Amino acid sequence: MIDVRDLKKEYTDEETPTRALRGVTFTINKGEFVSIMGPSGSGKSTLLQILSFLDRPTGGSYTFQNKGIEEMTDQELAHTRNKDMGFVFQSFNLLSRLTVYDNVEIPLLYSDILPAKRRTLIEEAVRSVGLEEKLHTEAGKLSGGQKQRVAIARALVTDPNVIFADEPTGNLDSESGLQIMEILASLHAKGRTVLLVTHETQTAEFADRVIRMKDGRVESDTMITERVSRGPLK
């Protein structure tokens, strides 16, 4: 599903080049739950941005669902983001003045799904995160955990193949963080591919596989054999 070969990303700021990715290679198969870990500046966020089509690499190759990113126009990237990818951000990125319903509807506005079918999809997605009673509540009035569940519902509403989660528990208390990770784990259990960026070991271990990044390279790529106990995240 995701295949990166010698992936590089270089930024040039004021004539000083910064090499954020220095040749990353791995493959993620359909249905995997992968955590990308690493300290600040290791390149994990840059990698996620490229994998989620928000940015393009400056070297190497990236193939998503058998199509190379270099062959795709910006329009096609936007269309793929909408159809095949779901996003969960650390800071939720909800529009606080809109209701839960309207927030979850946003990806559908840019899809080919007709307005008549949207209501069912939105209600299903909100129900799947257990917030059906908050459907018409303004997002700004929700707790942090509820906001992140709305963000997950928004990520799910277009039925994407991959969920990209960038530090999804970073702004939450441990109880809410656990709930979010359990939702992501349940999505994976239903066959969805989940790609998680985190710096918390306990969060990372919800995944089947952990890719550790350091200085723009893959330091280790290991399968998790022993499950963490599902207590509150520390």
Partner 1 sequence: MLVRDAFKTATRSLTHGKMRSILTMLGIVIGIASVIILMSIGQSAQDLIIGQVQSIGSNLIIVVPGAPSGSGFSAPASAQGIVITSLQQKDIDALAREPAIDLAVPEVRGQAEVVYGNTNKTESYTGSTADFFTVSNLAKVSEGQTFSKGDVDSGNHVVVIGPDLAQTLFGPNVDPINKIIRVKDVSFRIVGVLAKSGTGAFGVDIGNIIVMPITVAQKQLLGITYFNVIVVQANASYDVNFVKSRISFILQQNHGITDSAKVDFTIQTQADILSILGSITSVLTLFLAAIASISLIVGGIGIMNIMLVSVTERTREIGLRKAVGATNGDILQQFLIESVMLTFAGGVIGIAFGAVVVGAVYFGINAFNPALGWTFAFPLSSVVLGLIVSGVAGIAFGIYPARQAGKKNPIDALRYE
Q: Which is nearer to partner 1, 79 or 209 (CB)?
A: 79
**Alpha-carbon distance 63 to 229, whole Å?**
35
- Residue 7 in contact with residue 48, Cβ under 8 Å? no
Any contact of residue 110 with partner 1 (CB under 8 A)? Answer: yes
Select from 57, 60, 107, 216 the one that contacts partner 1 (CB under 8 A).
107
- Residue 205 in contact with residue 176, Cβ under 8 Å? no
Q: Which is nearer to partner 1, 98 or 224 (CB)?
A: 98
Binding string to partner 1 for residues 60 to 99, with x set by CB under 8 A, is what?
A: --------------xx--xx-xxx---x-x---x-x-xx-
Binding string to partner 1 for residues 33 to 52, with x set by CB under 8 A, is what?
A: ----------------x--x
Closest by alpha carbon to 54, among 82, 18, 25? 82
Q: Which is nearer to partner 1, 2 or 178 (CB)?
A: 2
Beta strands in the chain (DSSP E): 2-13, 16-28, 33-37, 59-64, 67-68, 85-88, 162-166, 193-198, 209-214, 217-223
Binding site for partner 1 (CB under 8 A): 49, 52, 54-55, 74-75, 78-79, 81-83, 87, 89, 93, 95, 97-98, 102, 106-107, 109-111, 115, 154, 158
